[in-house]
Amino acid sequence: MLPEVPRITHRHVDIDGVDVFYRESHPDRPDAPVLLLLHGFPSASHQFRRLMDVLGARYRLIAPDYPGFGHTRTPDGFTYTFDRLADVTEGFVRRLGLTRFVMYVFDFGAPVGFRLAERHPEWIAGLVVQNGNAYAEGLSDGARDFVALRPETAGAEKTIRGLLTLDGTRGQYETGVPDPAVIAPDGWTLDQHFLDLPGRKEAQVALAFDYHTNVERYGIWQEWLRTHTPPALITWGADDPFFPEPGARAYLRDLPEAELHLFATGHFALETHLAEIAPLIADFLDRVGS
């Protein structure tokens, strides 16, 4: 018997002048748990396509592209900061009428998602954390050097732009992966297509220089976790070159009841361990999503 294939739509919605693109699955159940999927750098909502195919018939999965990513289009003069990404994502959640959902935070999705959680704790039914860092010990030496970059630092912009090349993008997928043959090249190829669009590298440089504001909020987010104690599922690529394993274990200080699953892979854990991670998410949504 073939598995049920979900109906997935692809739409745009205007949020304060930003033309936000998003993907949404449409299960038959009107009360299906909602999972808001917040993507990472340098990707977009397309990184969740396989997960949506696996879970979308049973749950309502919603994945927007941030300003500066994927198919979302921004007006001239848009200011690229993590606060602004969160502003647009907050407006998107309101426009779709979401009032209670589980939030999947990966990479850039963590600083965007935790800003949403700060503003609207009542929205958050639970967290799925996949290599989404909120702790100092979750920063590798390379990540610390990256966070320290400032516009006035000699060579800083050149260093950032080095990550925005095809080799840099592909390396984020393959580093830490025992068998790169299991990773389809479509992800990094599509990511690079979007990075090469006019204005996109400038947007990423601006966000890179703003990344220190996330680290400065780690204490606030940790206090939020201790105060609100959301149910949490942590699935982590332990060999991530940016956010290594200690960042996953650190969550247990503030959420001792969280479920922790470590995988021998790199940053984009869904690319290599979808078969293991998807059932964990399904079980989690069944228990806390409604």
Positions annotated as catalytic residues are 267
| Residue 71: CB atoms within 10 Å | 17
Q: Which amino acid is at 7?
A: R
Element (H, E) at 233: strand 232-237
Distance CA 82, CA 196 (A): 21
Q: Which amino acid is at 174?
A: E
- Buried residues in 171-183 as b, exposed as e (16+ CB within 10 A): bbbbbbbeeeeeb
Distance CA 98, CA 267 (A): 29
Distance CA 61, CA 35 (A): 5
Residues linked to residue 21 through DSSP beta bridges, in sequence order: 12
3-state helix, strand, coil in the chain (%, to 5): 45, 15, 35
HSE-up of residue 95 (Cα within 13 Å, Cβ side): 19
Quote the radius of gyration of the chain (alpha carbons, Å): 18
Q: Are strands 18-25 and 8-15 parallel, antiparallel or unpaired?
A: antiparallel
